[in-house]
């Protein structure tokens, strides 16, 4: 997969509520009440929260320009000193625009495949939809690929994306940037990180699961709108993971990431996802 270290999917598009013709008075009144409630909700948001939601939406609206496939390696270093390398394949598939015109909502798809030496291959796909949350399909076993008849047995809903991918420090939600879909988004301040001018975006989860995140801080590059670093906190508010893109460079006017590293500060393990940027 060709990573441009930018954000991931489409969020919400504008809705056209105006239609020609008449409507029943109760329906009109219901809409007025609903819009009034929405206006009140909007009015109580601070400038920092409004800007945070806008920034999160910009990140989610970004998508790859073309289909791409990249190979790489998951380098996992466990706390007790053991080390594991797992070959991976990453793909980005963009659905044709005409599919949108006939009501098919999907914008694009990420597919991650891991090939450990024990033969128990693993696949994760993240489907990015217009106006809908991410949809995760996770399968591990001797074979890889979707079976439409059993697909729902492997679906992980957005509220529970804490399962790890290929026994690494990357969770399924990490690879889908699930925290950008949380309702709580706020700009805390301007800052610098790794020599770049950034905005600090705070994402808060109102209902964190036991092994999930309650809060994520992201340093977002002002120019590239990419994540320079991030810190994730557990359900008790304690620092759990730190994330760093590595080997960032601009190629043909596009930002690319050679690897991504994530450290679990509570267990002492570390995973580095290294990409072969020459892959096609």
CA 26/CA 43 separation, integer angstroms:
26
Size of the chain in residues: 280
Q: Coil, helix or strand for 158? A: coil
Is the CB of residue 258 less than 8 Å from the CB of residue 47? no
CA angle 212, 112, 177 (to 5 degrees): 40
pTM of the model: 0.75
The neighbouring-strand residues paired with 70 are 90
Which one of 161-165, 221-225, 236-240, 246-250 scores highest in mean pLDDT? 236-240
- Fold (topology level) of 50-275: outer membrane lipoprotein receptor (LolB), chain A (2.50.20)
pLDDT of residue 151: 43
pLDDT of residue 264: 96
Q: Coil, helix or strand for 98? A: helix
In this predicted structure, the answer to whether residue 208 has a pLDDT above a threshold of 70 is yes
Over residues 40-47, mean pLDDT: 70
**164 token code pair:** 């790890």
- Number of CB atoms found within 10 A of residue 110's CB: 23
Q: Which of 20-24, 49-53, 115-119, 256-260 has the lowest mean pLDDT?
A: 20-24
pLDDT per position as a tens digit, 181-193: 999 999 999 999 9
Domain boundaries, the chain: 50-275
CA angle 139, 140, 141 (to 5 degrees): 125
The bridge status of strand 184-193 relative to strand 135-141 is unpaired
pLDDT per position as a tens digit, 249-280: 665 555 567 789 999 999 999 999 998 866 44
């Amino acid at each position: 997969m060709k990573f441009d270290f930018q954000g991931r999917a489409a969020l919400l598009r504008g809705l056209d509520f105006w239609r020609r013709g008449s409507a029943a008075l109760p329906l009109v009144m219901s809409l007025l009440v609903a819009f009034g409630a929405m206006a009140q909700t909007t009015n109580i948001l601070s400038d920092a929260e409004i800007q945070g939601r806008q920034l999160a939406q910009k990140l989610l609206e970004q998508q790859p320009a073309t289909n791409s496939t990249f190979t790489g390696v998951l380098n996992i270093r466990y706390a007790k000193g053991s080390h594991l390398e797992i070959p991976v394949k990453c793909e980005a598939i963009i659905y044709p625009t005409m599919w949108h015109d006939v009501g098919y909502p999907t914008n694009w798809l990420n597919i991650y495949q891991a090939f450990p030496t024990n033969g128990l291959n693993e696949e994760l796909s993240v489907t990015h939809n217009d106006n809908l949350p991410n949809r995760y399909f996770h399968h591990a076993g001797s074979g890889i690929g979707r079976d439409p008849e059993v697909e729902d047995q492997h679906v992980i809903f957005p509220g529970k994306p804490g399962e790890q991918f290929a026994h690494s420090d990357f969770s399924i939600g990490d690879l889908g940037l699930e925290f950008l879909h949380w309702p709580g988004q706020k700009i805390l301040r301007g800052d610098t990180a790794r020599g770049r001018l950034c905005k600090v975006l705070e994402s808060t989860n109102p209902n964190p699961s036991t092994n999930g995140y309650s809060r994520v801080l992201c340093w977002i590059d002002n120019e590239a709108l990419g994540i320079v670093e991030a810190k994730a906190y557990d359900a008790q508010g304690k620092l759990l993971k730190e994330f760093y893109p590595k080997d960032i460079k601009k190629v043909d006017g596009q930002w690319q990431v050679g690897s991504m590293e994530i450290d679990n500060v509570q267990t002492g393990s570390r995973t580095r996802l290294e990409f072969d940027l020459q892959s096609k």
